[in-house]
């Protein structure tokens, strides 16, 4: 990866993937708002949770598929991997928003007593647990879908 700065195709793949992922990340909460009757705050939490779980699954899927292939940054497959993984999934998922929302829920929890703490705990650890499970499922599915080493794709 040290030579990445000398590979304009790789840099373009990351840039384009990130732009597309970020655009989709912006559109998901709008789509959730269009079909949901939830108040703003729970809807925002649900949208953040959804993009992170979907992104974890997709990144797991990509990882599982590429685990069975030889794909370095100098190959077309390598460019596709960084377009999808680093670029798209990196732009689509949002760890910063997740941490900010979780911190805010913990900060507000004393105002709501036990229910406030339960809500914060559920959001934080539920997001992490379901995200981990989604990534694991993605890796398992990707590994099954990937051609075995030495086979043609």
User: Torsion angle of alpha carbons 58, 98, 94, 3, nearest 10°?
Assistant: -90
**b or e along 22-45 (b: 16 or more beta carbons within 10 Å of the residue's beta carbon)?**
bebbeebbeebeeeeeeeeeeebb
93 assigned to a ligand binding site: yes
17 touches 83 (CB < 8 A): yes
Whole-number Å distance between alpha carbons of 153 and 32: 37
90 assigned to a ligand binding site: yes
Binding residues, as ranges, are: 90, 93
Binding residues for Na(+), as ranges, are: 90, 93
């Amino acid at each position: 990866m040290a030579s990445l700065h000398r590979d304009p195709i790789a840099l373009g793949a990351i840039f384009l993937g990130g732009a597309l992922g970020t655009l989709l990340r912006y559109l998901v909460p709008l789509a959730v708002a269009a079909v949901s009757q939830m108040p703003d705050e729970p809807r925002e939490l649900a949208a953040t949770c959804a993009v992170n779980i979907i992104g974890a699954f997709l990144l797991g899927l990509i990882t599982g598929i590429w685990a069975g292939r030889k794909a370095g940054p100098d190959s077309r497959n390598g460019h596709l991997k960084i377009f999808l993984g680093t670029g798209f999934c990196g732009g689509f998922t949002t760890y910063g928003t997740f941490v900010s929302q979780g911190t805010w829920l913990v900060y507000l929890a004393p105002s709501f007593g036990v229910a406030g703490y339960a809500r914060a705990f559920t959001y934080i650890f539920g997001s992490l647990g379901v995200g981990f499970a989604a990534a694991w499922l993605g890796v398992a599915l990707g590994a099954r879908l990937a051609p075995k080493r030495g086979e043609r794709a």
